[in-house]
Structure 1
Amino acid sequence: MEDTAVEEAEVSGAAEFAPALVAAHPHGDSVAVAIGPELRVFDLRAGCPVSLSDDCGGLSHSDAIRAICFSVSGALFASTGDDKLVKVWKTDSWRCIRTINSEKRVSAVAFSNNDLYITYADKFGVIWLVNLGEDGAEHVSVDNKPVSILGHYCSIITSMKFSPDGRFIATADRDSKIRVTLFPKNPLKGAHEIQSFCLGHTDFVSCIAFTSISENQSFLVSGGGDSTVRLWDYINGCLLDTFQVRDKMGELLESNDTDDSSQAIADICPSNDGSLIAVAIQGFSGVMLLACDLAGKKLSFRKVITMEKSYIPTSLASSFSSELIWTVMGASNMPNQASSQLLTRLRIIPCFQKDVVSSSDDGPATLEDCEVPHGEKLLMALQGSLDIAKQEEVLTSVLAALKVSMHKMLVKKHYSEERREQRKRGRNDKKIKS
């Protein structure tokens, strides 16, 4: 029965949908949205959309973008996904300065804190590294090949982050593991020293983020398919606290419309001071805010920001210099979805700080479209359309898939022996000769 259900999902394409992503420049200079193969960027300083320039091979991406990120300095931006390309962009000109070819589809990407290296993870759980040269210099030779530095043994990497001090790289996978690895001075020779494993999730880990109490002390926060947000002492691999989101969601979601599989954590976003954690929940039209007491090593419920029922955030982002949470909804690779229908919907939450947010007041609420920075100009550039009626028609078709999609994408599937052999024959890297 389980094999049949999995195979039907594969045929329908629902399991391969690509969620819309959002990333915010660390200093608030710009915001980027990825939907399908499209990368949309808006310059918040100049108040205008950005025209991307790609001299490194082709017109941006040709398949769904699965991961985007800014570097800590904000000087570089990376996009990558199902076309097996990792593209590095200079954010002062938004020119693509490097295109890296991966042998497999890519699921996660991150820059080292000094902008010297970019790391990316393929679908086989291998982490690759490329030396970008001094501050991502454009003169670096394209002969600088990717080097494998560590791996998760055939488990899909779902999230990858560098620690605030740059000493560690944390990687999470669909087999409920979080690995913290010491990032060596010469990573081109491999990252072989494991600092810790953060083990406790009972289902896939969907997202991780670092949050700091001071320059010298930071913690790791994770969310997963088990509907929990967890706080870790990642140096020692110790679980400090667990917040069970499902317990709180029971009173907010109608049981007839929601099952446990749709309450996976879709994304998490810490505030600048680490006092708050914004949580996007699969199947929930809104964002949950958790108080994060780093001194007391405790997570607690603060409040829920509800949105219209047709809006389920697929990605969250914030910047060091802003008190806004950027949220986006959208998906591509859906059945019968044309490229012209790659619309997204943005909702922005203001006042993302502990002193403003309390469980008793009515704020912060999402900004109305007229209150969004740069208004219609930004919405048109990042959403793809200002026609709300048209958006509703397209996004409604995405809504049902969003409620269960993450579980289908990341839960470890089980196949019969016959089906396993059939899949093995179809693998490009391991053909079975007849």
Structure 2
Amino acid sequence: MEESHIEKGECQNKLEVAPALISVHPSQKSVAVTVGSDLRVFDLIENCPITLVDESEGPAHKDSIRAIRHGASGKLFVSAGDDKLVKIWSADSWRCLNTVCSEKRVTAVAISSDDSYVCYADKFGVVWVVELDGINEGKVLPAKKGASLLSHYCSIITRLDFSPDGRYIVSADRDFKIRVTVFPKKPLEGAHEIQSFCLGHTEFLTCIAFVWNPELTQGYLMSGSGDSTVRLWDITCGSLLDTCDVSTMVGDLESSESEPPSQVTVTDICTIPNSSLAAAAIQSFQGIVLLSCDLSAHTLSITKVIKIPGESFIPTSISVSKFLWMVSGASNLPGSNHPGVSRVRVISTETCSVLEDEQIPGGTKLLKHLQGKVRVEESVMSAAAEAVREAMSSLLMKKQYSDEKREFRKRTRNDKKTTL
């Protein structure tokens, strides 16, 4: 039984299903969506698709993009993924300013608050840093290589982020832990001072988001996991302040049966500017959960649930500016004529209502560019949601091996093979 489980997991991993991702400009000048290796950007000011300018040969990316990020200033955008490339773009001209080659596949990216550094994590749990001297002037930089910053020692890093004040870089991994590291004055020489560890999750970490306003003198962080919880942390000391279990809420909404709800995964979190609210996407839930964070009382609670009416829309990624932007979809769907599919929906952060396609910024013109077409079949969206769920479980849930299989894997590791 165990061997068959292993084979099934390995076969699923070979499918390389990648979830669709979305990132909106901090001032809502543009919105970017990725499906597989395809990076699509729409200009919300000019109301037109954006043509990316990349002077390297071939497409911008050659394999699935696993991480995208706008910088806090809105000047830079970074994309990275399975092709081991980290591409740094100007978010004004959408010209590729630099391409960094990673030794391993990239799982997460972050941009420092002053746009001086880009950090990226690879599948071996190493975080690398690249200095962006001169990039703020929009200059194309010569080829660079990342310098090792820190390591999680062979644990896949799922998210990276800089604290809003730039003092810390936070990394979350598959082995249930969050590391808060002091970002050094000379990052190229490595980061050696750990501020804290945030420990308490019982399954893989999937997402983190800072709770911040100018009056705060300490850092607060929210995190989501495969253990059905969103947690609130004081990162200066690593204290767990509160835990919000979303599985009961999802169970109540999705089923009328009296059976206890199964464990669900929180796939993404983002905090809503100028408010105490945060939005969370749940892997099995057709909608968004709004959480209220009371920093004075150190509490976290569900304040509203917004269901997406009329279609099978389960967000794989969310991003917020003036509106809450969501995308659902995946690439490389097994057994399908659709190699990649994406569906974009938008929620008003003022009224907490789901906008119709004609009401969203950019309207159907935006949808046609970011989705590839205006309408997406229900059956395809359902298949994409299931494919993402299985792919995430295969990637992030640690497999259990028999002693014999474990020894075989050790003997056949690439770094242990004898070279002639």
Instruction: Report the TM-score, using the length of structure 2 for normalisation.
Output: 0.93
Letter of the 2:103 partner, please give it: E
Question: Is it true that 1:342 corresponds to 2:343 in the alignment?
Answer: no
> What are the equivalent positions in structure 2 for 1:192-341 lying under 5 Å apart?
192-217=192-217, 218-254=219-255, 260-261=262-263, 263-307=264-308, 308=310, 310-319=312-321, 322=322, 324-337=323-336, 341=339
Query: Secondary structure of 2:233's partner?
Result: strand
1:240-298: CA deviation from partner (whole Å, max 9, x where unpaired): 1100111222211238899734x110001111024111110011111111111122211
Question: Is it true that 1:186 corresponds to 2:174 in the alignment?
Answer: no
Query: Secondary structure of 1:247's partner?
Result: helix
Contact 2:15 2:332 in 1 (8 A): no
1: CA distance between counterparts of 2:287 and 2:195?
36
1: CA distance between counterparts of 2:414 and 2:50?
37
Distance 1:99 1:300, change over 3 A: same
Question: Is it true that 1:35 corresponds to 2:29 in the alignment?
Answer: no
2: CA distance between counterparts of 1:45 and 1:281?
31
Contact 2:333 2:340 in 1 (8 A): no
Letter of the 1:311 partner, please give it: F
Contact 1:114 1:135 in 2 (8 A): no
Contact 2:198 2:240 in 1 (8 A): yes
2: CA distance between counterparts of 1:430 and 1:276?
49
Question: Is it true that 1:371 corresponds to 2:359 in the alignment?
Answer: yes
Structure 1 residue 428, shift from structure 2 partner: 4.4
Query: Secondary structure of 2:212's partner?
Result: strand
2:91 corresponding residue in structure 1: 91
1: CA distance between counterparts of 2:48 and 2:16?
33
Letter of the 1:33 partner, please give it: V
Structure 1 residue 10, shift from structure 2 partner: 2.1
Structure 1 residue 158, shift from structure 2 partner: 0.4
Question: Is it true that 1:387 corresponds to 2:388 in the alignment?
Answer: no
Contact 2:12 2:391 in 1 (8 A): no
Contact 2:135 2:141 in 1 (8 A): no
Distance 1:215 1:429, change over 3 A: farther
2:129 corresponding residue in structure 1: 129
Structure 1 gap ranges (5+)? 357-363
Contact 1:119 1:129 in 2 (8 A): yes
> What are the equivalent positions in structure 2 for 1:6-25 lying under 5 Å apart?
6-13=6-13, 16-25=16-25
Contact 1:14 1:405 in 2 (8 A): no
Contact 2:247 2:261 in 1 (8 A): no
2:44 corresponding residue in structure 1: 44
Contact 2:24 2:320 in 1 (8 A): yes
Q: State percent identity of aligned pairs.
A: 51
> What are the equivalent positions in structure 2 for 1:346-357 lying under 5 Å apart?
346-350=344-348, 352-353=349-350, 356=351
Contact 2:75 2:92 in 1 (8 A): yes
1:409 corresponding residue in structure 2: 395
1: CA distance between counterparts of 2:412 and 2:381?
33
Distance 1:242 1:259, change over 3 A: closer
1: CA distance between counterparts of 2:71 and 2:227?
30
1:361 corresponding residue in structure 2: none
2: CA distance between counterparts of 1:33 and 1:70?
12
2: CA distance between counterparts of 1:427 and 1:61?
28
Query: Secondary structure of 1:118's partner?
Result: strand
Structure 1 residue 3, shift from structure 2 partner: 4.5
Structure 1 residue 108, shift from structure 2 partner: 0.1
Distance 1:47 1:105, change over 3 A: same
Contact 1:12 1:335 in 2 (8 A): no
Structure 1 residue 214, shift from structure 2 partner: 2.8
Query: Secondary structure of 2:253's partner?
Result: coil
Instruction: Report the TM-score, using the length of structure 1 for normalisation.
Output: 0.90
Q: Structure 1 residues 25-34 or 340-349, which shifts more?
A: 340-349
Contact 2:176 2:205 in 1 (8 A): yes
Contact 2:116 2:133 in 1 (8 A): yes
1:368-389: CA deviation from partner (whole Å, max 9, x where unpaired): 111111211100010111133x
Structure 1 residue 165, shift from structure 2 partner: 0.3
Letter of the 2:8 partner, please give it: E
> What are the equivalent positions in structure 2 for 1:40-79 lying under 5 Å apart?
40-79=40-79
Query: Secondary structure of 1:19's partner?
Result: coil
> What are the equivalent positions in structure 2 for 1:103-114 lying under 5 Å apart?
103-114=103-114
Q: Structure 1 residues 250-259 or 81-90, which shifts more?
A: 250-259
2: CA distance between counterparts of 1:414 and 1:113?
40
2: CA distance between counterparts of 1:409 and 1:309?
27
1:281-327: CA deviation from partner (whole Å, max 9, x where unpaired): 011111111111122211111111111451110001012xx1x1100
Query: Secondary structure of 1:250's partner?
Result: helix
Distance 1:13 1:155, change over 3 A: closer
1:80-135: CA deviation from partner (whole Å, max 9, x where unpaired): 01111111111111111111111111100011111111100000000001111134
Contact 1:225 1:407 in 2 (8 A): no
Structure 1 residue 185, shift from structure 2 partner: 1.0
Structure 1 residue 429, shift from structure 2 partner: 4.2
Distance 1:207 1:276, change over 3 A: same
